[in-house]
Chains A and B, each alone.
Chain A
Amino acid sequence: MATVTIDGVTVEVPDGTTILNAARKIGGDLVPPAMCYYSTLKDSGGKCRVCLVKVAQGSAKDPRPMPKLMASCRTTVMDGMVVQSITSPEVLEARKSVVEFLLLNHPLDCPICDQAGECDLQNLAYKHGIAQTRYEEEKRTFEKIDIGDKIKLHMTRCILCYRCTFVANQLTDSRVHGIIGRGDASEISTYIEKAIDNDFSGNMIDVCPVGALTDKTFRFKSRVWFTKPLDAHRSCPKCSGKVVLWTKGEEVLRVSARTDEYNEVKEFICNDCRFEHKQLSDWTVEGPRHINRHSVIAQNHYEHVDLIKLKKEIERQIEFEKGKALPEPKNELSA
């Protein structure tokens, strides 16, 4: 076991745990954001650089600080390590700049993007980004591609997190897609003329943090915040059969895997469940899905409402507003 202190909070974790997972054990605001790391995909992470943290003390044995900011998703903890996440201005600035870099060539077509509302990049930019861009040049664009009859690839929106290639490597039985090209010309692509067609390929959609890979059976059907998520299951010979149904009235608009508070799937589902069972009667509905990650779709909870708690919360807000005006949101880059 190793004892690690993150932003002044001490936690004990098994050896070999990453700083990010140690922070997730503590929870709350100090958890570094992650765009490319995915807990259920081996070897993912380290690429987006948004989870950078400062290691102020390497370990109890060797208390020297690490010279550079470290990617918390791939750096393992040492006993006695001291980490600064949101308490270090340097880290916050680095995260802000990474967000700026990620948004540089991102089309910002959120109003017509199906991912809007459940997009990790949107949430990240809302939290760390700036309102204006300093980029004046033309953004890089790609043609939209159909990869298979169920998945649409919109490469322009891609932030090259490599998650979908890990799905291809680790979940599907034959890998037919990967990254071609180099530098900012890299793109996700299938081998020539080869469509993605195998049982677990649909998980690429769930792991994609942005709207680069979208479900063709759901495209342009509805804004995600107008749908009601329901936990449901069926007995499936291929996967766990535990899913979320995104419904509008009696209609099932979309089926997706269940994600945790960091928007990561723990149990992947098969394409059969995802694309072929779009009737409520196909499923045993368990109840409303509680979405507790920080996102616009977490706002409209329609499950059982605790009225007393709600009343207290409203009173607290009124008190707060009486006391002082809400602080102005800071949108400028610190120079």
Chain B
Amino acid sequence: MGKKFLLEHVNVPGIAAYEVYRKHGGYNSVEKALKSMTRDQLIEEVKFSGLRGRGGAGFPAGMKWSFLDQKSDKPKYLVCNADESEPGTFKDRYLMERLPHLLIEGMIVSSYALGARTSFIYVRGEYMYVLRILEKAIEEAYAAGFLGKNILGTDYSLDLYVHPGAGAYICGEETALLESLEGKRGLPRLKPPFPAIAGLYASPTVVNNVETIASVPCIVNISADLYNDVGIGKSTGTKLISASGHINKPGVYEIELGIPVEEFIYSDEYCGGIWKGRKLKAVVAGGSSVPILPANLILKTAKGEPRLMTYESLADGGFATGTMLGSGGFVVMDDSTCIVRNTWTYSRFYHHESCGQCSPCREGTGWMEKVLHRIEHGHGTMKDIDLLADIARKIEGNTICPLGDAASWPVASAIRHFREEFEYHVKHPEKVVDPNHFEKEPFHSEKQHAIA
């Protein structure tokens, strides 16, 4: 069994209630931080722990905190990004449902470290029931004196609010989230200025993912030293992985960063192998927007080393032969999966969720979806495959926010690794009429991607 930092007590009955949570060591980090640590010490501690943003980009959290403009005379804000909308990712929901107090504890400690007197949790609109769980937990925390005026008799006061979004993927982008929180249309802002200088209400703001904030109490409790013992190199601590797709045991798993991908997929502790005794075809390792990898490249890097579940190892080889850990949405596909159909589904999502502010993304995502629809339904031509790759290349990097990149990466990588399959759709339109066309007769690649 690997170490559990976040989900240690997740199976304790009634852990969502304050009393039970407190009994199992909950809110100890608040006491320790507020009574015995200064704000700078806390920031240093998080920096030293090597904790990286768990929302997708993997930016060091302590570094992000230290960028906050402390000299500003405006109030500072901490905003928790709970707008988890990446297809394939559902770890934050699990965490907030089961352990709402862990997030609140993290919010208190992090807000204290940043000097924020008001903090927000921005929950996506579809998580309305999660919002109710969180509101109940916040009420309990107020009643227990962990929120409100003069927490634990110190001179530190904090108000915590939960705010629901209205169901837009784009509001998971931090500046669009801030716009939405301010009550405006959720459109990403142009950077610079970065939120650390001018974020919510033009004040210095830090936006962190749920899992990032929930990891902070543990770092405070056990010390950064012990936290960064777990993991390999710059990938420290544990990470929640939302495993889904064609596996025997889908679900949310807390892993120690650094376990081999092969172990994660096949061991009984985690995914439990591919279902129905089929073969592994491809894996999307970090949520729908990261490049898809064929079986041979996800288990071993291009150099032949075993691939590990770390930020660095998954990114090994760049986008040519690598991918990203992203937000940890681990989607496994067996050999009955049609990659073209899967890419089309992703593309349809990004087309639907593009905010429409900047032209490459607004026009390009729809275009890609239409071309993919054509190919998947047997009306494509060989030229369309090149066209698709060209559109993806022209969206990438030319947009205001990363949604454009997120829309183009899955398409570009699918063509890069599974071009044969696209060509098959063009050459044999009669064979792809049935939507489950690879169900009965799996696609055989000459490259032999599939691994038993």
A contact set with B: CB distance below 8 Å: 46-50, 52, 68-69, 71, 74, 93-94, 97-98, 100-102, 104-105, 134-135, 137, 159-160, 162, 179, 181-186
Q: Do residues A182 and B370 form an inter-chain contact, with CB atoms below 8 A? A: no
Known: A69-B398, A183-B352, A184-B351. A102 touches B359 (CB 8 A): yes
B399 touches which one: A49, A134, A160, A185 (CB < 8 A)? A49
Identify which of B3-11, B207-215, B361-369 touches chain A: B361-369
| Contact B355 A182, beta carbon cutoff 8 Å | yes
In the assembled complex, which residues on chain A have CB atoms less than 8 Å from the CB atom of B398?
49, 52, 68-69, 94, 97-98
CA of A97 to CA of B387, assembled, Å: 12
A-B contact pairs, 27 of them (CB 8 A): A46-B358, A46-B400, A47-B357, A47-B359, A48-B359, A49-B358, A49-B360, A49-B398, A50-B359, A68-B398, A69-B397, A71-B400, A97-B394, A100-B394, A101-B360, A101-B362, A101-B363, A101-B364, A102-B359, A102-B363, A182-B353, A183-B352, A183-B353, A183-B356, A183-B365, A183-B366, A184-B354
Chain B residue with the shortest CB-CB distance to A76: B192
| Residues on the A chain within 8 Å of B170, using CB | 182
- A residues less than 8 Å from B351 (CB atoms): 183-184
Residues of A within 8 A of B168 (CB): 182
Given contacts A182-B354, A183-B365, contact A98 B360 (CB under 8 A): yes
Central interface residue in A48, A94, A97, A135, by most chain B CB within 10 Å:
A97
- Check if B185 is an interface residue, CB within 8 A of chain A: yes
CB of B387 within 8 A of CB of A160, answer: no
Does A185 lie within 8 Å of B190, measured CB to CB? no
A87 to chain B, nearest CB (A): 18
A48 CB to closest chain B CB, in angstroms? 5
Q: Which residues of B (38-85) have their CB < 8 Å from a CB of A? A: none
Inter-subunit contact A134/B363 (CB<8 Å): no
CA distance A50 to B397 in the complex (A): 13
For A179, the chain B residues whose CB sits under 8 A away are 185, 356
Q: Which of B353, B355, B367 has the most CB of A within 10 A?
A: B367
Those of B166-221 within 8 Å (CB) of chain A: 168, 170, 185, 190
Cβ contacts under 8 Å, B185 to chain A: 179
Contact of A184 among B190, B356, B397, B400 (CB under 8 A): B356
A108 to B358, CA, bound (A): 20
Query: A179 to B357, alpha carbons, bound, how many Å?
Result: 10
Asked if residues A134 and B387 are in contact (CB atoms below 8 Å), the reply is: yes
B357→A184 contact, CB < 8 A: no
- B363 surroundings in chain A (CB, below 8 A): 101-102, 104-105, 184
Minimum-distance CB pairs A-B, first 6: A97-B394, A186-B356, A101-B363, A183-B354, A46-B190, A183-B356
Contacts of B387 in A (CB 8 A): 134
A68 contacts which chain B residues (CB < 8 A)?
397-398
Q: Which residue of B lies closest to A180 (CB)?
A: B185
How far, in Å, is A204 (CB) from chain B's closest CB? 19
Query: A97 to B404, alpha carbons, bound, how many Å?
Result: 14
Chain A nearest CB: distance from B362 CB in Å?
Answer: 5
A94 neighbours in B (Cβ, 8 Å): 394, 398
Q: How far is the CA of A179 from the CA of B353 in the complex (A)?
A: 16
Please, how many angstroms separate the alpha-carbon atoms of A49 and B358 in the complex?
7
Residues of B with C-beta under 8 A to A185: 356
The answer on a CB contact under 8 Å between B359 and A98 is: yes
A183 / chain B contacts, CB cutoff of 8 Å:
351-356, 362, 365-366
With A135-B367, A182-B168 in contact, do A101 and B359 touch (Cβ < 8 Å)?
yes
Complex Cα gap A31–B400 (Å): 21
State A314–B397 Cα separation when bound (angstroms): 45
B contact residues around A47 at 8 Å (CB): 357-359, 400
B contact residues around A46 at 8 Å (CB) = 190, 358, 400
Would B190 and A74 count as touching, CB distance under 8 A?
yes
Which residue in chain A gives the minimum CB-CB distance to B170?
A182
Contact at B394–A184, with CB atoms within 8 Å? no
State A102–B387 Cα separation when bound (angstroms): 17
How long is the Cα–Cα vector from A97 to B393 in the complex, in angstroms?
10
CA distance A333 to B365 in the complex (A): 20
A173 to B367, CA, bound (A): 39
The interface residues of chain A lying within 8 Å CB-to-CB of B370 are 137
Chain B residues within an 8 Å CB radius of A137: 367, 370
B 335-363 binary contact with A (CB < 8 Å = 1; else 0): 00000000000000001111111111011
A135 to B364, CA, bound (A): 11
Specify which chain A residues have a CB less than 8 angstroms from the CB of B355 in the assembled complex.
182-183
A97 CA to B351 CA in the complex, in Å? 18
Which B residues are in CB contact (< 8 Å) with A186? Answer: 356, 362
Task: Determine if B362 and A184 form an interchain contact, defined as CB atoms under 8 angstroms apart.
Answer: yes
On chain B, the residues within 8 Å of A97 by CB distance are: 360, 394, 398
**Minimum C-beta distance from A215 to chain B (A):** 25
**Residues in B neighbouring A49, C-beta threshold 8 A:** 358-360, 398-400
- In the bound assembly, the distance between CA atoms of A94 and B395 in angstroms comes to 9
A100 neighbours in B (Cβ, 8 Å): 394
Nearest CB in chain A: distance from B416 CB, A:
17
Question: A35 — nearest CB in chain B belongs to which residue?
Answer: B359
* Chain A min CB distance to B286 (Å): 20
* Contact in complex: A159, B359 (CB < 8 Å): yes
Query: A71 vs B192: C-alpha distance in the bound complex, in angstroms?
Result: 11
Residues of A within 8 A of B357 (CB): 47, 160, 162
Q: Could you mark each residue 361-387 of chain B with 1 if its beta carbon is under 8 Å from any beta carbon of chain A, else 0? A: 011111100100000000000000001
Residues of chain B within 8 A of A160, CB atoms compared: 356-357, 359, 362
Least CB distance, B299 to chain A, in whole angstroms: 31
Of residues 381 through 420 on chain B, the ones whose CB sits less than 8 Å from some CB of chain A are: 387, 394, 397-400
Given known pairs A98-B398, A104-B363, the reply for A71 and B190 (CB within 8 Å) is yes
Task: Find chain B residues with CB under 8 A from A102 CB.
Answer: 359, 363
- Chain A residue with Cβ nearest B350: A183
Given contacts A183-B365, A183-B366, 18 further A-B contacts (CB under 8 A): A47-B357, A49-B358, A49-B359, A68-B398, A71-B190, A101-B363, A102-B363, A135-B367, A159-B359, A160-B356, A162-B357, A179-B356, A183-B351, A183-B356, A183-B362, A184-B363, A184-B365, A186-B356
B190 proximity list for chain A (CB < 8 A): 46, 71, 74
Q: Which residues in B have their C-beta under 8 angstroms from that of A182? A: 168, 170, 353-356
Given A69-B398, A137-B370, verify A48-B356 contact (CB < 8 Å).
no
Smallest CB separation, A41 vs chain B (Å): 15
- The docked-state distance in angstroms from the alpha carbon of A186 to that of B356 is 7
Nearest B residue to A74, CB-CB? B190
